[in-house]
Chains A and B, each alone.
Chain A
């Protein structure tokens, strides 16, 4: 029988939730890295026991953790005794060294971006928001960071190199931080075209590479954002999340700051599919594991009131790829609920029926084992949840 493992990153540590394929009884392991913010924790699609975690702290900076046994044990890559020195005797311990590439051969000059007050500001690394293991090699993993840039490691997280074509693109000076910082928070790898990737940045927008990360272009045509001087500008949009079904990589779904959007041409153009949603502000968006036109969002009242409308926590599901939405309420609190669901805190599993999971800033992790019809909390009282990733294990 299959097993399910749900990887949960919180404000005060990581938790690993496990169940058999029935998804009724859950075992909770954690907190791992107690007291640290775990922005994201994700498994490799080719080795489910290989898991990467982004551990961060305003005091002590960035740490990358790696597990090779499904989350039972962890290490900072490159810190075992036989890895401590390079052949020329230099110390390693560089799994948390994220340095923007300014070398003439591969990098770009340390450019500037727009700061909160409208002035230009040099790029400064703060933390890793999202880790995306590659589709082919468990040692190859991408990291989306703040200030927005894309890094990759090809040695299991021991060292990181920037894909500088993104940060150094000519629109960079127009990118600006959102309230949470200027973060690269979404990385989608095209399973049919290994040279193609999509990323999203708050508040710059979505970008695509067709050459493995060397060059990037903004893909924001069709977005309309009232909070920037030109609402249809090439960049400056606060994209909260984009999602894709593995079978249809040209179709993308986006939860923007306001507006739920859809593209059927790999991001070249977008159209709004908010339809009958009661509010189209929100953070996460995800796609059913087996139905490419079934998508999920969690509408939030507004950008200044980060809680559900009328205190009722509702997931909305569209079975038509947008526009027509139904409220999913069974098992979710329908009064006095004022939590938020953050952008990386929703995930689906690949069992049948599809499991859907999300975590809240109130520390609940909810699970549905019937594609959203009914929900139950796996845990009630974790620290605020930052990320959720579900794994189906053989």
Chain B
């Protein structure tokens, strides 16, 4: 079971509290996690990655196991600790402001 942490505004939009748990077939990648997330919560389509290009929106980041994976290939395997559910996959809205 993959654990995903959404930013607060997307938790509200998807009407979930806390972490989201998803079944994702191996190999687990950013793309396969987001595919599963959007299948469960279609209202999130277009909010994390572009509808057409599937590119990450500029002010969204993907963190896992203390690393910023935002610039990795979406098909790169995620760390084993993510795939095993030991650690969550974090979707972050960039900090902005003063």
Cα of A236 to Cα of B8 in the assembled complex, Å: 40
Partner of B13, one of A58, A76, A97: A76
Q: Whole-angstrom distance from the CB of B16 to the nearest CB of chain A? A: 13
Nearest CB in chain A to that of B8: its residue: A35
Question: Would A62 and B12 count as touching, CB distance under 8 A?
Answer: no
A-binding segment of B23-31, B52-60, B79-87: B52-60
**CB–CB A94/B45 < 8 A:** yes
A60 close to B45 (CB less than 8 A) = no
Which chain A residues lie closer than 8 Å to B48 at the CB level?
60
Contact B39–A76 (Cβ < 8 Å): no
Closest to A80 in B: B42
Identity of the chain A residue whose Cβ is nearest the Cβ of B50 in the assembled complex = A61
CA distance A292 to B59 in the complex (A): 47
Q: Answer whether residue A28 sits at the interface, using C-beta atoms and an 8 A cutoff.
A: no
Chain B residue with Cβ nearest A77: B43
Instruction: List residues of chain A with CB within 8 A of the CB of B43.
Output: 63, 76, 79, 93, 95
Contact across chains for A91 and B57 when beta carbons are under 8 A apart: no
- With A79-B42, A91-B38, A96-B47: A59-B93 Cβ-Cβ less than 8 Å: yes
- A91–B39 CB distance below 8 A: yes
| CB-defined A-B contacts under 8 Å, sample of 29 | A33-B12, A35-B8, A35-B9, A35-B12, A36-B9, A57-B9, A59-B57, A59-B59, A59-B94, A59-B96, A60-B7, A60-B9, A60-B48, A61-B46, A62-B46, A63-B13, A63-B43, A63-B47, A76-B13, A76-B43, A79-B43, A91-B42, A92-B42, A93-B42, A93-B44, A94-B46, A95-B43, A97-B51, A99-B52
A36-B42 Cα distance, complex, nearest whole Å? 19
Tell me the complex Cα distance, A95–B45, Å.
9
Q: Which residues of B contact A57 (CB under 8 A)?
A: 9
B10 within 8 A of A: yes
Cβ-defined contact, A58 with B59, below 8 A: yes
Q: Residue of B at shortest CB range from A58? A: B59
Best-surrounded residue of A34, A57, A58, A59 (most CB of chain B within 10 A): A59
- Additional A-B contacts beyond A57-B9, A59-B94, A94-B46 (4; CB < 8 A): A59-B60, A60-B60, A61-B57, A96-B45
Contacts across chains A and B counted by CB atoms under 8 Å: 62
By size class, the interface of chain A is 20 to 34
**Nearest 7 CB-CB pairs, A to B?**
A93-B42, A60-B47, A76-B43, A93-B45, A59-B93, A59-B59, A79-B43
CB <8 Å contact, B10 and A93: no
Instruction: Give residues 79-98 of A contacting B (CB, 8 Å).
Output: 79, 84, 91-97
Closest B residue to A93 using CB positions: B42
Distance of A285 Cα from B94 Cα, bound (Å): 37
Cβ of A78 within 8 Å of any chain B Cβ, yes or no, is yes
Instruction: Determine how close the nearest CB of chain A comes to the CB of B45; give it in whole angstroms.
Output: 4
Contact with B45, one of A34, A58, A91 (Cβ below 8 angstroms): A91
Interface residues of A (CB under 8 A from B): 33-36, 57-63, 76, 78-79, 84, 91-97, 99
The answer to whether B42 and A61 touch across the interface, beta carbons within 8 angstroms, is no
A36 neighbours in B (Cβ, 8 Å): 9
Give A285 to B10 CA distance when docked, in angstroms: 36
A60 and B10 CA atoms in complex are apart in Å by 8
Query: Which among B8, B13, B57 has the greatest number of chain A C-beta atoms within 10 A?
Result: B13
Interface residues in B1-36 (C-beta closer than 8 Å to A): 7-10, 12-13
Once the chains bind, are A99 and B51 in contact (CB under 8 Å)? yes
> How many angstroms between the C-alpha atoms of A11 and B44 in the bound complex?
21
| CB-nearest residue of chain A to B44 | A93
Tell me, rounded to whole Å, the shortest Cβ–Cβ distance linking A123 to chain B. 13
CB proximity of B64 to chain A, nearest CB, Å: 19
CA distance A121 to B12 in the complex (A): 35
Q: Which of B38, B52, B93 contacts A60 (CB 8 A)?
A: B93
Shortest beta-carbon distance from B47 to chain A in Å: 4
Measured between beta carbons, the chain A residues less than 8 angstroms from B57 are 59-61
A76 to B38 CA separation, bound complex (whole angstroms) = 14
Q: How far is the CB of A20 from chain B (nearest CB, A)?
A: 32
In the complex, what's the smallest C-beta–C-beta distance from A248 to chain B, in angstroms?
40
Quick check: A78 and B94 within 8 Å, CB to CB?
A: no
Smallest CB separation, A44 vs chain B (Å): 22
Which residues does chain A contribute within 8 Å of B39, judged by CB atoms? 91
Q: What residues on B are CB-neighbors of A58 within 8 Å?
A: 59, 96
Partner of A97, one of B7, B9, B46: B46
Which residue of chain A has its CB nearest to the CB of B94?
A59
Of B7, B9, B46, which one neighbours A96 at CB under 8 angstroms? B46
Q: How far is the CB of B49 from chain A (nearest CB, A)?
A: 10
